[in-house]
Amino acid sequence: MNKRVLIISPHPDDETLGLGGSIAKFISEGNDVFILTISGHLPPLYSEEDFETTLKEAKNAFNILGVKNFDFLKIPATMVKDHPLHELNNSISKVFNSFNPTYVFIPFPDRHIDHRVIFDSSLVSCRPIGLGKNIEMVCAYETLSETHWNAPHIEPNFVPNLVINIDEFIDQKIEALRCYKSQISEEGGPRSIDALIALSKFRGSQSGFNYGEAFNIVRSIL
């Protein structure tokens, strides 16, 4: 039976960094995928031109991954915490109600304040009541740099208990990530192609294949 896979992405590029290979894999297997991007590079910290650039980059990345269903909430980056909480919860809930997901992937509550707030709001819609009873699995994904900058043992550590084999999709993930020219570098730095390949190899090596993407299961049912 095909699954309906919902990805909650704090910003354009988080979805590809965290699970671009898995997205391509889900789609190749005939599953429906929807990406909801909560925040963007908008005023007052960024210009409208910055937002339009990342919006175009995201759509190009989605095209490479095969994603046809997506939406952008357009909340200014780093200011999600200042957005009325009930409005954020309601916006996310509307997508849950219309898409009725079976798998949900949300950002790990890491160094970035947007990731933490969005993690909490996403879990509100994941409660096992109403349509939430149809959700078979909720997973948190890691995002290069942000997830690995938490203070060990003071804040939650990302300890994966699920790894998806993306051996056949690593090239697709890299090609999609290269669309984010304004965000990603080729060499060096925590959000580079080199770092992405290294992390994918490491996660794969932990599970007996070449390339992997790691997740922390929040809730699952059989």
**pTM, to two decimals:** 0.96
Question: Quick one: pLDDT at residue 79?
Answer: 94
Tell whether the model's pLDDT for residue 131 goes beyond 90: no
Tokens of 134: 């149809």
Beta strands in the chain (DSSP E): 4-9, 32-40, 69-76, 103-107, 137-141, 162-165, 212-220
pLDDT confidence band for 7 (50 / 70 / 90): very high
Phi-psi bin for 85: left (phi > 0), alpha (psi -120 to 50), beta? alpha
Tell whether the model's pLDDT for residue 127 goes beyond 80: yes
Tell whether the model's pLDDT for residue 84 goes beyond 80: yes
- State mean pLDDT over 21-27: 98
Q: For residues 36 and 99, what is the distance between their CA atoms, to the nearest angstrom?
A: 11
Per-residue model confidence as pLDDT tens digits over 150-199 = 998 899 999 999 999 999 999 999 999 999 999 888 888 888 999 999 99
Per-residue model confidence as pLDDT tens digits over 87-108 = 999 999 999 999 999 999 999 9
The answer to whether 187 and 141 are in contact (CB under 8 A) is no
Return the residue matching tokens 């990342």. 54
Nearest in space to 9 (alpha carbons), one of 159, 101, 141, 201? 141
Tell whether the model's pLDDT for residue 114 goes beyond 90: yes
- Residue 222 DSSP label: -
The maximal CA–CA distance of the chain, rounded, in angstroms, is 46
| Mean pLDDT across the chain | 95
Tell whether the model's pLDDT for residue 1 goes beyond 80: no
Q: How many helices (H) and strands (E) does the chain have?
A: 6, 7
Question: Quick one: pLDDT at residue 161?
Answer: 96
User: Quick one: CA dihedral 98, 102, 105, 109, positive or negative?
Assistant: positive
Tell whether the model's pLDDT for residue 211 goes beyond 90: yes
Question: Quick one: pLDDT at residue 188?
Answer: 81
- State mean pLDDT over 39-58: 93
- Residue 132 DSSP label: G
Distance, C-alpha 220 to centroid of its chain: 18
- Residue 206 DSSP label: T
Question: Quick one: pLDDT at residue 41?
Answer: 92
